[in-house]
Every structure is written in C-alpha cells, then in structure tokens.
Amino acid sequence: MVARAQAPIVIKFSHVVAPDTPKGKGAQRFKELVEERSKGAIKVEVYPNSQLYKDKEELEALQLGSVQMLAPSLAKFGPLGVKDFEVFDLPFVFKDTDAFRAVTAGPVGYELFSKLEPKGIKGLAYWDNGFHIMSANKPLHHVADFKGLKMRIQSSKVLDAQMRALGAIPQVMAFSELYQALQSGVVDGTEGVASNFYTQKIYEVQKHITLSNHGHLAYAVIVNKKFWDGLPVDARKILELSIRDATVYANAIAATENTQALEKIKASGKTTIYTPAPAEIEEWKRALMPVHKEMESRVGKATIEAVYKAAGFVAPK
C-alpha cells in the first residue's frame, strides 16, 4: 500500500470527449481502480469535454506539468514534433480492430512511445476507438461528392492529404469547436466515430453520414515523464496495474459503444446513414491509396512498412 503522506498524490487527467464515450469511460474506470487500490492515497481528477484544455493546449499543459495525464488521439502528435504517429491515419490501412492492435502491441507501438520521452512524455497504453465515418449536408457516395467541401480534420498531415486526395478542403480545428463550426457553416463536413457524433450531437447538424470506415481512431494514454519518474515505486505499481485493467476495459467496450451510438443516431431520424457499396469503397480506395506513398517522407518509409507488416496490409499494385 502507498504510504500515506499528508496530502494524496493528485493526477489531473484531461480529455476532450464526453464522459459517456469509450475514452471517457476508460478514464473513469482508471480513476476508480487507482483510488480503490491506493485507498485514497492517489487521487485521479478526470476533466472531460475540453473543460480544462483544447487539443493543442492539452499537450502543452502536459509538458508543463499543469496536468499529469491525457489520452489524445494519435492524429494529434504532429504539432509536438512526433510525426510518426500519423502513420495510424493512413486511409484503409487497418482491415479491422485486430490489425490495429497487432501494430500497437508490437515494436511499432513501443518505438513510437520511446520517441515521446525526449519531449518529457511517457506513453502508457493505446486505446482503440474504432473506425471513422464521414458526414456532410449532402450525400457522400462517390469521390466526386467531396469536391470543394470544407472538411474538419484533426491536426494530422496524413488526414490533410487524405481530404485533398478526395478533392475536399481540409481544415484543422479543435474537437471542442466542431459542433459550432458545422452549425454555422464554417466547415461543411467532418470525419469521426459514432460515439463522438452522438455525444457531440454532430448528427443534429449533418444531414448525411456515410459508413466508410476509411480511417481509424485511437488514443495514446500519456503521462508527464518527470511526474511519473518522481512517483514512489508502490504508487507507480498501482498506476501501472490500473492502466492495464482500464485499457482492457476501454478496448472491450469501444466497438459496442460505437454500434450503440450509431443506433441512437439512426433512431433520432435526423440524418441519413449510408452504407457504401463495395464498388464505391473501391473507388474511394483508388483515390486514397496514393496518400500512403505521398506521406512516406513525413511519417517514414520504415514505419509505414513495419505497420503494413504487423497489420497484414498488402499495398495494391
């Protein structure tokens, strides 16, 4: 048990999504496990919904030690100078969740985490959140439908290239600003996962959703390294065990949470939900595959090849 100092160790865990999402629930489970196992000697304060910081600011706050833990999407590490994480944004690279997990559980997962250390950040776990869908106020069936649409993206340059390859105009924007931007027409559409579409009410301001599953969303649970290294050994042990268990939980609920969110969106009757025909997906793939080659110089050829191998992806000729 962690020796009780006068004051408990406090971990501020900030994130940008709603509590009722796979990440929100994972963070909450982590808090409960830690507080129970440390008998209150470690306190985890979870701040959801960008309450403390928006996307870019939260990474800065982590480096400064204003918060101790985050779980940003892998598409948000570029501005920190670790561009390799954007390999996870390559369109259609993961055929399913297992393919994604095979990558994060292997050498690529470890190596990417080691690149965070010189930035004062330690990677603890990867949390899965399923596949991206696309939305706009017009149906998105064919590549040509994207022409000229302003599409909100996370800060990844791979996502920027992806939207350009579709003929759209990408616009980087913080997650917390998305609803308003769609409502006011600052952007025309977005990609995202169903659990975020539901909890942020994106479906209320987008008339059409396409279940394209073209990209994957996942998070890195990260901690301020100096804080971590300075923890008493027994406290670190509790945190490690708790993050392991919270990771199993968050990964186990991701698919169901997203399926249920999609059901609720459907039931609202506020938007159409379109499942593309195989030939349409082939058309999207033809437009998007060149992004893999185009992004080699940014994310690294060796990293891309290692991801292909671990994910069992065979690049089309």
Residue 154 beta carbon to ligand LMR: minimum distance, rounded to whole angstroms: 5
- Is 38 or 199 the residue whose CB approaches ligand LMR more closely? 199
By CB under 6 A, which span of 1-9, 16-24, 84-92, 236-244 interacts with ligand LMR?
Answer: 16-24
- β-sheet bridge partners, residue 128: 218
Judged by CB under 6 A, the residue of 78, 170, 192, 215 near ligand LMR is 192
Q: Cα–Cα distance between 111 and 116 in angstroms, integer?
A: 9
At which residue do the structure tokens 């055929």 appear? 95
116-155 residues in contact with ligand LMR (CB under 6 A) are 154
Q: Does 175 bind ligand LMR (CB under 6 A)?
A: yes
Residue 195 beta carbon to ligand LMR: minimum distance, rounded to whole angstroms: 8
Judged by CB under 6 A, the residue of 17, 121, 133, 221 near ligand LMR is 17
Largest Cα span, the chain? 65
- Is 175 or 228 the residue whose CB approaches ligand LMR more closely? 175
Decide if 161 contacts 294 (C-beta within 8 A): yes
Scored b (16 or more CB within 10 A) or e, 87-115 reads: bbbbbbbbeebebbbbbbeeebbeebbeb
Q: Does 26 bind ligand LMR (CB under 6 A)?
A: no
CA dihedral 102, 104, 108, 109 (to 10 degrees): -150
Strands (E), the chain: 9-14, 42-47, 69-70, 121-131, 133-136, 150-153, 169-172, 189-192, 208-210, 216-224, 272-274
Size of the site for ligand LMR (CB under 6 A): 9
Judged by CB under 6 A, the residue of 28, 135, 156, 196 near ligand LMR is 196
- Is 235 or 249 the residue whose CB approaches ligand LMR more closely? 249
Residue 113 beta carbon to ligand LMR: minimum distance, rounded to whole angstroms: 18
- Is 127 or 284 the residue whose CB approaches ligand LMR more closely? 127
Q: Does 73 bind ligand LMR (CB under 6 A)?
A: yes
Residues 6+ apart with CB under 8 A from 118: none
Write out the residues near ligand LMR by the rule CB under 6 A: 16-17, 23, 73, 154, 175, 192, 196, 217
